[in-house]
Amino acid sequence: MKVYTGENVRNVAVVGHGHAGKTSLISAALFTAGATQRLGRVDDGTATTDYDEEEISRKMSISAGLACAEWGQTKINFIDTPGFNMFVHEAKMALPVIDAAIVVVDGSGQIVIVNYYSLDYRSDAQNALSQALNHAVDAAAEPYHVTVADGFVMFQKAAEQAGGDTCGAGLLTVLAAGGCGSHPSVAGQVLLAQAVEEAIRK
């Protein structure tokens, strides 16, 4: 059995929504690299990383699956993660050990991105910076027919209850040393998800 040194091993997670094509992409990569003798397919139950009877019958990944291929002098460990929210814990467990992630998007569906929110709506400078970034996001998204969800306005409305302070409104993660970070809290994530839902319905 060939022995690989650490610098020649890469752990790559393949992530994305359910039925986006993650398992099929890995099957194609394995076949192209010569790791499998035939192109595995989800529809006929021959995909390498969906081998459980339940996965084959449902045509969906339920648990994280591992498959390996050699490309040049590098061994690539592909981690096929489930895309449905009831199995998201399987995807989360894989993330601490990966070197990179491939995000698979279904090109036949609607792509939605969320624009920037201000960390402190009391600051004119932060508001101006966020809005400038959002104009750039809108301009970049338009040619590709990408829908932009308005996270800026969604956070602004909620922050008004705390005088414009997103940290005081509980919209940002709390740091152990005190204060808030820049990432949304659970409450903030819910608001951004609502912004996405509203954008889709438009």
Give CA separation, 46 vs 70, 146, 160, 166, in Å.
Answer: 20, 34, 54, 49
Strand 180-184 with 172-174, pairing:
antiparallel
Block residue for tokens 């929210």? 85
Protein fold of 112-201: Rossmann fold (3.40.50)
pTM of the full predicted structure? Answer: 0.59
- Write the class of the CATH domain 6-104: alpha beta
Q: Is 61 exposed, middle or buried (0-12, 13-18, 19+ CB in 10 A)?
A: buried
The C-alpha atoms of residue 18 and residue 22 are separated, in whole angstroms, by: 8
pLDDT at 165: 96
Per-residue pLDDT in tens (0 to 9) along the chain, 202 residues: 588 888 999 999 999 888 899 999 999 999 999 999 999 999 999 999 999 998 999 899 999 999 999 999 999 999 999 988 778 888 888 888 999 999 998 877 778 889 999 999 999 999 999 999 999 999 999 998 889 999 999 999 999 999 999 999 999 999 999 999 999 999 999 999 999 999 988 7
pLDDT at 84: 83
- Residue spans in the chain of domains classed CATH 3.40.50.300: 6-104
